[in-house]
Structure 1
Amino acid sequence: MKIGIVGLGLIGGSLGLDMRSHHHTVVGVSRRESTCQKAVTLGCVDQASTDLSLLATAEVVFICTPIGLIIPTMQQLITVLPANTIVTDVGSVKTPIVEAISPLWHNFVGGHPMAGTADSGVEAALSNLFVQKPYVLTPTPTTPNSAVVLLEELLKELSATIYHCTPQEHDRAVSWISHLPVMVSSSLIAACTDEAEPQVLKLAQNLASSGFRDTSRVGGGNPELGVMMAKYNREALLKSLEVYRHNLDELKDLIEQENWTDLAAKLEHTQAVRPNFVQ
């Protein structure tokens, strides 16, 4: 099968590596010629170009651009692709993308692989990145079943764990476990840098170890991605931030009141339910 990828970064490059390992022909498009050359050299694609017309004969196209470029990219692809081409995206927000593209392209299936690393760019592409990782598909009632089935077959080759939900359900879910953590992690880093005593701040920086590294990782990621999460999933993220602030205020109150019994009960509860999210 001929697979097209627009956006040759971590996700696009990793998809290309795995698709080629399963004997698919992969063609890629990037805004920079240097990225195209790197993608070919690294084995992420068979051929690459800055011209979208390279995708004219692709049977399936993955849009792997930043969130804000997904809809404009689809608007350009309309002039290039035959109507039977299946198009999907990898954006971490689904509702605005699906609502905008579905009327434009009959064979569109919203998608979101829950996989990645702290690195970016095609140089960060990894084989087997999607193995046993959640890969969400958000077809609508008008999405052709044949498009969903074919896309599922490709994702099964990657050994991804496939989930189906509505775009709205997806956005509410990821606001809790993906977008909220970015904002919380960012605020943690910002709060630490507000330490007024330089000597204490330097000591904290020297002592920071695995606990701080784990809780601050996503807050130290790509700022553009964080802004796009907030911009395109604003309503759901605001709701999750409000609930988080309520829980934080509750902890603050318990500590101020020296209510160690209720604090222990709350920490025991979070200890008990964490495995439901992290296996």
Structure 2
Amino acid sequence: MHVVGAGLVGASIGLALTSAGGEVVLHDASPTVATLAADLGAGRLPGPDEPEPVLVVVAAPPDVTSDLVAAALRRHPGAAVTDVASTKAQVVTGVAEAAGPDADRYVGGHPMAGRERHGPMAARGDLFVGRPWVLTPLPTTSPASTALVRELATRLGAAVVELDPTAHDEAVALVSHLPQVAASLVAARLVGAPGPAVGLAGQGLRDVTRIAASDPVLWAQILAGNAGPLAHHLRLLRDDLDAALAALETGSLGGLARLVADGNAGHAVVPGKHGSVPAAYVTVPVLIPDRPGSLAALIGAIGEIGVNVEDLRIEHSPGRQVGVVEVTVVPAARDGLVEALRGRGWSVPD
């Protein structure tokens, strides 16, 4: 298989496949990026007499994806070609115009997985495990090509979903692109903020602004490529902000309560673990010293107790060399876990 683009997603695909014994040939506009990805084990650089690939994955920025897909279709007449761009309608239209009848071997794709970091150094072989991977084949797409791309996504541990390109773009505008804009806008408010204010930041601010560290150039292309659906949701969010301002200005406790309650209702529909129906969990806070081995010891203790951890996060205490590990478990496990941890000497606040 050939991967065109050895950044975060391309190198992650390569790492996953090569670790399972697959052969991946890496291409990138930057020889340095391609060499670095190869050195990290994501594949190898092309040789002088490469056999024809069966599948080509284009993992490049959205503004060049259509051209690179069309070029791959022409260069490899026996191969299926897919991409990983975050917008699909614009890319699919571009491929159809540039590739003509060869476009029947193109399968639009978008793994719903990523990180706020970019480049091959940020790549992970397990990046796609348990994540949705959207395919957007057209009626003219050959079933054999679609089957090849589906097999790739499944092999990487992803859950395959098929959508129309327009439906895909409308969906990701809400669940991916709107959160990116919101996170960036909130984080931008911190620029120039007084030091004491920033020093009070807790886990809530970190959660809301985590993805604000994303690549500005890449995200500018993604947002512009999905301008229509994203603008629709931003207008709705603007209406909600206007309602929040009105509630503040009039002192409407009911309006402010509705704002938070509506957020509760929205949070409740976010899929649970492995894409399952959302479930109710409880959090057990555990104090740990900020020194090597503390977290591993806690996780080991929980494993010995026999409780499954649904989620886990760490918040460091300002000015103290301790941290709070928030262990998320099913409600039925809470009391037994608290008692067992205290019995082992761990500090578990009430």
TM over 0.5: yes
In the other structure, the counterpart of 1:198 is: none
In the other structure, the counterpart of 2:265 is: 272
What aligned pairs does 1:162-173 form with structure 2 within 5 A after superposition? 162-173=160-171
Distance (Å, rounded) in 2 between the aligned partners of 1:73 and 1:145: 22
Q: Residue 98 of structure 1 aligns to which amino acid in structure 2?
A: V
Q: Report the CA distance shift for 1:252/1:42 in structure 2 as closer, same or farther (over 3 A).
A: same
Task: Report the CA distance between 1:133 and its aligned residue.
Answer: 0.4
Q: Report the CA distance shift for 1:139/1:79 in structure 2 as closer, same or farther (over 3 A).
A: closer
Q: Report the CA distance shift for 1:217/1:54 in structure 2 as closer, same or farther (over 3 A).
A: farther
1:55–1:80 CA contact under 8 A, matched in 2:
no
What aligned pairs does 1:206-217 form with structure 2 within 5 A after superposition? 206-217=199-210
2:84–2:109 CA contact under 8 A, matched in 1:
yes
Q: Percent identity?
A: 30
In the other structure, the counterpart of 1:140 is: 138
1:235 and 2:228 are equivalent in the alignment: yes
Task: Report the CA distance between 1:194 and its aligned residue.
Answer: 6.1
Structure whose CA Rg is larger: 2
User: How far does the alpha carbon of each residue in 1:59-96 deviate from its partner, in whole angstroms, 9 at most, with x for none?
Assistant: 111100111111221243244212x3110000000001
Distance (Å, rounded) in 2 between the aligned partners of 1:189 and 1:266: 21
1:36 and 2:16 are equivalent in the alignment: no
- Aligned with residue 67 of structure 1, among 62, 73, 93: 62
Distance (Å, rounded) in 1 between the aligned partners of 2:267 and 2:243: 19
Distance (Å, rounded) in 2 between the aligned partners of 1:128 and 1:62: 17
Distance (Å, rounded) in 2 between the aligned partners of 1:91 and 1:70: 7
Task: Report the CA distance between 1:278 and its aligned residue.
Answer: 4.5
- Aligned with residue 45 of structure 2, among 29, 45, 48: 48
1:89–1:111 CA contact under 8 A, matched in 2:
yes
In the other structure, the counterpart of 2:299 is: none
In the other structure, the counterpart of 1:254 is: 247
Give the SS at the match of 2:134: strand
- Aligned with residue 95 of structure 2, among 101, 117, 125: 101
Q: Residue 94 of structure 2 aligns to which amino acid in structure 1?
A: A
2:55–2:148 CA contact under 8 A, matched in 1:
no
The RMSD of aligned alpha carbons is 1.9
Distance (Å, rounded) in 2 between the aligned partners of 1:55 and 1:208: 54
1:22–1:157 CA contact under 8 A, matched in 2:
no
Task: Report the CA distance between 1:213 and its aligned residue.
Answer: 1.3
Give the SS at the match of 2:104: coil
4+ residue segments displaced more than 4 Å? 53-56
TM-score using structure 2 length = 0.72
Any gaps of 5 or more consecutive residues in structure 2?
273-350
Which stretch of structure 1 is more off in the superposition, 8-17 or 98-107? 98-107
Q: Residue 155 of structure 1 aligns to which amino acid in structure 2?
A: A
- Aligned with residue 147 of structure 2, among 146, 149, 171: 149
Distance (Å, rounded) in 1 between the aligned partners of 2:159 and 2:144: 19
Task: Report the CA distance between 1:54 and its aligned residue.
Answer: 7.6
User: How far does the alpha carbon of each residue in 1:108-129 deviate from its partner, in whole angstroms, 9 at most, with x for none?
Assistant: 0000011111211111111111
2:6–2:59 CA contact under 8 A, matched in 1:
yes
2:73–2:80 CA contact under 8 A, matched in 1:
no
Q: Residue 64 of structure 1 aligns to which amino acid in structure 2?
A: A
Instruction: Count residues in correspondence.
Output: 268
Task: Report the CA distance between 1:107 and its aligned residue.
Answer: 0.5
User: How far does the alpha carbon of each residue in 1:188-218 deviate from its partner, in whole angstroms, 9 at most, with x for none?
Assistant: 12233365xxxxx212222222211111122
Give the SS at the match of 1:65: coil
Task: Report the CA distance between 1:24 and its aligned residue.
Answer: 2.0
Distance (Å, rounded) in 1 between the aligned partners of 2:265 and 2:56: 42
Which has the bigger relative contact order, CA under 8 A and spacing at least 6?
A: 1
Q: Residue 240 of structure 1 aligns to which amino acid in structure 2?
A: H
Task: Report the CA distance between 1:186 and its aligned residue.
Answer: 1.5
1:9–1:125 CA contact under 8 A, matched in 2:
yes
